Amino acid sequence: MGSNMAEQHPVGFQWVVEAKERGASVMHVDPRFTRTSAMADLHVPLRAGTDIAFLGGVINYILSGGREFTEYVRHYTNARVIIKDEFRDVDELGLFSGWMPEDGVYDVSSWGYKGTQGELTAGKKEQTGDVSGDQAHGAHGMKLEHGEPPEQDWTLEHPNCVFQILKRHFARYTPEVVERICGVPREQMLHVAETLCRNSGRERTGAVCYAVGWTQHTHGVQNIRAAAIIQLLLGNIGRPGGGILALRGHANIQGSTDIPTLYDILPGYIPMPHPTSEDDLDRFVELNGPDTGVWGSLKSYTVSMLKAWWGEAATPANNFAYSYLPRIDGDHSHYPMMLRMIDRETKGFIVIGQNPVVGSANSSLQRKALANLDWLVVRDTSEIETAAFWYDSPEIETGKTRPEEIGTEVFFMPAAAYTEKDGTFTNTQRLLQWRFKAVEPPWDCRSDLWFTHQLGKRVREKLAGSDDPKDRPILDLTWDYPTQGPQKEPDAETIMQEVNGRHADGRFISKYQELKDDGSTTCGSWIHAGIYADGVNQAARKRPGSEQSWIAPEWGWAWPADRRILYNRASADPAGKPWSERKRYIWWDSDKRAWTGVGDNPDFEPDKDPGYEPPEGAKGMAAISGSSPFIVHPDGLGWLFSPSGLVDGPLPTHYEPHESPIDNLLYRERSNPTRQTFERPENPYNPPGVEPGGEVFPFVFTTYRLTEHHTAGGMSRSVPFLNELQPEMFCEVSPELAAERGLEHGGWAMIATTRTVIEARVLVTDRLRPLRIGSDPPRTVHQVGLPYHWGRKGLVTGDSANELLPLVLDRNVHISEYKAATCDIRPGRRPRGPALRELVAEYRRRAGVSS
């Protein structure tokens, strides 16, 4: 679900095909019948944006039928934990307890475990402006008082235990309701649920694959949470053949999250500091890390990172230069960043290997942001739309603006290609793989390593001698990297060494457990500690797969500590024995008194007895019992109910997409009440389908990618052999919609929202189908499919689907809703020049949206 694996990850899909050949059931739940559906045993078409309703139906099926893997659920999940009395599940309105209507956010304090002291109440100011406060993405859960277990009921019968709450919460998601919300025949949902149940348990496991089909919603995180609940109930986490697999779309999008170029985290998911902690490192640790579990050592991780960055300048006396880190106090993520550019608060912009004009929602808003900058640096291998926005854009075409009116100074810098530099990509399963440089970058092309290193060097030189305290972090930075070759490219391996870290005597760190909070160790990213263990580039291990076991431990290196399956303690029963011979993976060898297995590294202390119970006052990993696999959580349990970490509820709840043709059939709140909207002239929204003006945009559209192209096209529209495979922008519509709107197969269609109108060739196909949704009376909803790869530059051009989308974000992670919105469609090519603006204006008038 939420993934089109055969199309987007074809080579990964070989394993699915192979599994199917061996008897696995492959089911694909997706609004469209895709190449993945073609290979699946069953395709279930559902309305875009209704995944939680579908998954809720599955959860209800499991719970109401007693189909959960009871022993797993009782021991490994928080099903037995009792939640605070104050907690109230969603009511008819669709709101959990703690809703603060004036701010549009939750006070999450009532969602915690009973009997624990949660660090759950974030400052109100931070919550309203920003959810990445102490209590949000980046923070790592509530505190358990010194590992003291919360109140529990092992019989799972206490009315306020998680299991019972879960049962009640999902009881609404009956097959009938699912059918009406999703447009999925109930038999199909039940078939999926039954198949999942049958393929779970001791002898079997099932996996869930998702991708941005789940994340790009105003309830994206909760989509994944719903899957996590299913997998935990069925005992499919931490076991071979199980799991929830995020299929990521860029070569290093995982790596750029682990060692983040993201505003709210530091390497290894250490939260970015807020002003709250002021310059007190201990306060920061107290606010952001629980005492127990892996995060119990947050201070060691942070100090080691600060030592890696500021070296000698980071001392115990100055809190290891903690004050050198900038503070975040709001949502500084991608979309608010662009809005700040429009407001001329952000004046400079460096874009590296990304093409927001095509890849981000609301393209004209993106361009407007760029046009309001003082300076822009774009680094890419070809001249992408983001570099050319000032002379080639719809706004130029329609005469809305002219290059002369755009004051942005633009630097386009040719980047080195991946074959022209050493370095690692982290793949979708956390595996870091080293690439060897094949050739030197030609002409002005340089690696981004070179660019950053050079920029740092020059800034440091220009600031040298400054006595301004704000320049100290720059000047004190450890920045002497050896360079190589004619272009003086920095040696990437030395950076990996810094990431890995060293002891005071210069020895390389071999695992994160060695890190200290006294400044005696350095480590650029604690989860990567060990990647250079023994002075060897572990990511560059390339022993042929054919010479290894199926785990292939000597190919690349996986964080943390080279563990290939996370939470793999769960592959054994509470006593440490494999759940079954067939599915054995890691188990307790009582003779050797050690965890052993088929070749992976245990995600656990290697000698922790399964019967271990933490003593009073234990901290860190010592506070995790021998039968608690989920070591990243302070209680070591898998969370069916999320007592902290999320801002929109501890349990997944069905909400309609922001732009939806119908009301929420389950609750009064139509869409996620915590979603982030931006009421600005650049970002008009289509009226909801049920409100006046909504009828102007009666269809649902969803955006996606094709096998033959890559994301925003920078790496595929420059390649002739790919372009001939999918040369033109097209839309996919059902024969019924084509008949209704007079769309001609092979002809052209205009697709309209209040943002703009684009054109596309028409592909009429049964792979898109009308759905019957709602009740009293049910109505037919048509869906339009739009691939988003095209733009105005490159070897093939076409309108971008993202021109159509608004900014509306999931408040947990600030990802916009690309996957479901409303539109109109009509035959013909869109007007050129000023006539296009008139057409858009007309749509806005009809919909009652002010221009």
Number of residues that bind another protein (CB under 8 A): 217
Q: Which residues pair with 586 in a beta bridge?
A: 597
- Contact flag: residue 598 with another protein (CB under 8 A): no
The length of the chain, given as a count of residues:
851
Position among 71, 89, 151, 383 found at the interface with another protein (CB under 8 A): 383
**Contacting another protein within 203-232 (CB under 8 A):** 216
Strands 105-106 and 489-490: unpaired
The piece of 377-385, 580-588, 635-643, 831-839 that touches another protein (CB under 8 A) is 377-385
**Contacting another protein within 254-283 (CB under 8 A):** 254-263, 266-267, 272, 275-276, 278-279
What phi and psi, each to the nearest 5 degrees, are found at residue 560? -85, 145
Q: Which is nearer to another protein, 142 or 246 (CB)?
A: 246
- Contact flag: residue 750 with another protein (CB under 8 A): no
Position among 66, 92, 546, 832 found at the interface with another protein (CB under 8 A): 546
Residues 6+ apart with CB under 8 A from 701: 48, 751, 783, 784, 785, 786, 804, 820, 821, 822, 823
Task: Tell which phi-psi region holds residue 244, choosing left (phi > 0), alpha (psi between -120 and 50) or beta.
Answer: beta
Name the amino acid, one letter, at 681. Answer: P
Sign, CA dihedral 309-313-318-323, equals negative
- Contact flag: residue 513 with another protein (CB under 8 A): no
Burial 804-830 (b: 16+ CB within 10 A, else e): bbbbbbbbbbbbbbbbbbbbbbeeeeb
Spell out, one character per residue from 420 to 439, where the chain touches another protein: x when CB under 8 A holds, - when not: xx-xxxxxxx-xxxxxxxxx
Q: Which is nearer to another protein, 259 or 840 (CB)?
A: 259
Spell out, one character per residue from 18 to 57, where the chain touches another protein: x when CB under 8 A holds, - when not: ---x-----------x-xxxxx--xxxx------------
Name which of 19, 69, 425 is nearest 229 in CA terms: 69
Q: Which is nearer to another protein, 196 or 272 (CB)?
A: 272
- Contact flag: residue 703 with another protein (CB under 8 A): no
Position among 24, 27, 552, 839 found at the interface with another protein (CB under 8 A): 552
Name which of 662, 248, 681 is nearest 428 in CA terms: 248
End-to-end Cα, the chain, rounded Å? 37
- Contact flag: residue 69 with another protein (CB under 8 A): no
**Contacting another protein within 516-535 (CB under 8 A):** 524-525, 528
Position among 103, 145, 203, 409 found at the interface with another protein (CB under 8 A): 409
Spell out, one character per residue from 168 to 187, where the chain touches another protein: x when CB under 8 A holds, - when not: -----------xx----xxx
Q: Which is nearer to another protein, 452 or 851 (CB)?
A: 452
Position among 26, 181, 244, 341 found at the interface with another protein (CB under 8 A): 341
Burial 345-356 (b: 16+ CB within 10 A, else e): ebeebebebbbb
- Contact flag: residue 325 with another protein (CB under 8 A): yes
Q: Which is nearer to another protein, 292 or 386 (CB)?
A: 386
Quick check: 593 and 628 in contact, CB under 8 A?
no
- Contact flag: residue 622 with another protein (CB under 8 A): no
Position among 71, 283, 311, 418 found at the interface with another protein (CB under 8 A): 418
Q: Residue 764: in which H helix or E strand, if any?
A: strand 757-764
Position among 64, 117, 315, 419 found at the interface with another protein (CB under 8 A): 419
**Cα–Cα distance between 635 and 82 in angstroms, integer?**
13
Measured CA distances, 554 to 490, 539, 562, 569 (Å) = 27, 9, 10, 21
What the block records as the tokens of 494 is 């030395």
In the bound complex, what is the minimum distance in angstroms from residue 82's beta carbon to another protein?
Answer: 36
Position among 200, 205, 218, 408 found at the interface with another protein (CB under 8 A): 408
**Contacting another protein within 473-502 (CB under 8 A):** 473-474, 477, 479, 490, 492, 495-496, 498-499
Q: Which residues pair with 773 in a beta bridge?
A: 779
The piece of 1-9, 114-122, 202-210, 694-702 that touches another protein (CB under 8 A) is 1-9
**Contacting another protein within 432-471 (CB under 8 A):** 432-440, 442-449, 451-456, 458-459, 462-463, 470
In the bound complex, what is the minimum distance in angstroms from residue 43's beta carbon to another protein?
Answer: 6
Q: Which is nearer to another protein, 487 or 653 (CB)?
A: 487
Spell out, one character per residue from 768 to 807, where the chain touches another protein: x when CB under 8 A holds, - when not: -xxxx-----x-x-------------xxx-----------
In the bound complex, what is the minimum distance in angstroms from residue 112's beta carbon to another protein?
Answer: 26
Q: Which is nearer to another protein, 229 or 722 (CB)?
A: 722
**Cα–Cα distance between 262 and 525 in angstroms, integer?**
14
DSSP letters of 89-142?
A: ---TTS--TTEETTTTEE-GGGGSBTT--------HHHHHH-S-SSSSTTS--P
Position among 761, 831, 839, 842 found at the interface with another protein (CB under 8 A): 761
Q: Which is nearer to another protein, 14 or 117 (CB)?
A: 14
Quick check: 205 and 583 in contact, CB under 8 A?
yes
- Contact flag: residue 311 with another protein (CB under 8 A): no
Q: Which is nearer to another protein, 653 or 726 (CB)?
A: 726
**Contacting another protein within 102-121 (CB under 8 A):** none
Q: Three-state DSSP class for 696?
A: helix
- Contact flag: residue 377 with another protein (CB under 8 A): yes
Position among 116, 152, 660, 718 found at the interface with another protein (CB under 8 A): 718
In the bound complex, what is the minimum distance in angstroms from residue 56's beta carbon to another protein?
Answer: 18
- Contact flag: residue 651 with another protein (CB under 8 A): no
Q: Which is nearer to another protein, 291 or 799 (CB)?
A: 799
Name which of 245, 211, 189 is nearest 54 in CA terms: 189
Q: Residue 596: in which H helix or E strand, if any?
A: strand 594-597
Sign, CA dihedral 557-559-561-563, equals negative
**Cα–Cα distance between 629 and 604 in angstroms, integer?**
8
